[in-house]
């Protein structure tokens, strides 16, 4: 990486209360069954929850595919310890198998096209696609496959899995947050939404350039929607 380019990138609310409580219960029960990791789903009856929660609309079990137009994966990395540089990946594809009765059996698989990278300047985008960084010519996609989902409190879950980037695979864990679930009246589909976040070491995946200018920890944030296609 050109040090000059690296440096330039871095420097440069009685009914109202009941309604609110119902919404809170929906979110809590929803995330207990939600999944990804990179995932979660909405309102559902779950073991151990109160009767009020049990009356919440259930999240639909079944198979889901990702809605690419409403899904984004962002990265953030420290630059010169004084700012965070961000980029965006789009066109994400993948699927989710959701089992509300046994959330730990749910599975998610995502494919991220690295060639879709967008940054504030074309120059930086081109640099990050090069062999010394993402190496999109040889490895045009990154892949995440979940292996375990663990409930971590209201509206949260830990989703563990493997991430493959630049031909290297490492175990990773993402923090998932429930966003919502229900019918999409415009498209006549049933959707679940999520946001997940986690941190990886870029050097662990072979990106070791410019250690002074660019931090090693890279925060990944995925925000998106899954669309049900079968039971």
pLDDT confidence band for 6 (50 / 70 / 90): low
For residue 10, what pLDDT is reported?
52
List all residues 6 or more positions away from 178 whose beta carbon is below 8 Å from its beta carbon: 27, 30, 31, 34, 40, 41, 42, 155, 156, 193, 194
- Which sequence spans correspond to the domains of the chain? 3-230
For residue 35, what pLDDT is reported?
37
CATH 2.60.40.420 matches 3-230? no
Percent of the chain with pLDDT over 70: 74
Select the highest-mean-pLDDT range: 49-53, 67-71, 102-106, 156-160: 67-71
For residue 101, what pLDDT is reported?
75
For residue 102, what pLDDT is reported?
78
Nearest by Cα to 79 from 134, 38, 120, 122 = 120
For residue 64, what pLDDT is reported?
96
Nearest by Cα to 119 from 156, 155, 75, 152 = 75
Alpha carbons 26 and 40: distance in angstroms, whole number: 13
Q: How far is CA 83 from the centre of its chain?
A: 23
Query: Do residues 227 and 64 lie in contact, with contact meaning Cβ atoms separated by under 8 Å?
Result: yes
Helices (H), the chain: 3-11, 15-33, 51-54, 122-129
Percent of the chain with pLDDT over 90: 62
Q: What is the mean pLDDT of the chain?
A: 80
For residue 157, what pLDDT is reported?
86
Q: Using the predicted structure, report yes or no on whether residue 155 has a pLDDT greater than 60.
A: yes
Alpha carbons 115 and 46: distance in angstroms, whole number: 40
Q: Using the predicted structure, report yes or no on whether residue 30 has a pLDDT greater than 90.
A: no
Q: Using the predicted structure, report yes or no on whether residue 4 has a pLDDT greater than 70.
A: no
């Amino acid at each position: 990486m050109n040090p000059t380019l690296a440096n330039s990138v871095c420097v440069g609310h009685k009914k109202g209360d009941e309604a609110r409580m119902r919404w809170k219960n929906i979110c809590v029960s929803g995330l207990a069954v939600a999944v990804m990791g990179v995932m979660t789903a909405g309102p559902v009856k779950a073991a151990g929850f109160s009767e009020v929660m049990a009356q919440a609309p259930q999240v639909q079990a079944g198979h889901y595919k990702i809605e690419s137009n409403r899904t984004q994966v962002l990265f953030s990395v420290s630059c010169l310890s004084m700012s965070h540089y961000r980029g965006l990946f789009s066109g994400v594809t993948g699927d989710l198998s959701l089992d509300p009765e046994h959330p730990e059996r749910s599975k998610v698989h995502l494919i991220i096209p690295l060639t879709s990278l967008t940054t504030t300047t074309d120059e930086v985008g081109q640099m990050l696609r090069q062999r010394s960084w993402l190496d999109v010519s040889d490895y045009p996609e990154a892949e995440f496959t979940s292996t375990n989902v663990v409930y971590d409190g209201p509206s949260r879950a830990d989703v563990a899995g493997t991430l493959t980037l630049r031909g290297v695979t490492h175990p990773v864990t993402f923090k998932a947050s429930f966003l919502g679930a229900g019918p999409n009246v415009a498209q006549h589909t049933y959707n679940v939404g999520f946001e997940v976040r986690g941190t990886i070491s870029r050097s662990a995946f072979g990106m070791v350039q410019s250690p002074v200018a660019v931090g090693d920890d890279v925060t990944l944030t995925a925000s998106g929607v899954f669309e049900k296609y079968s039971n």
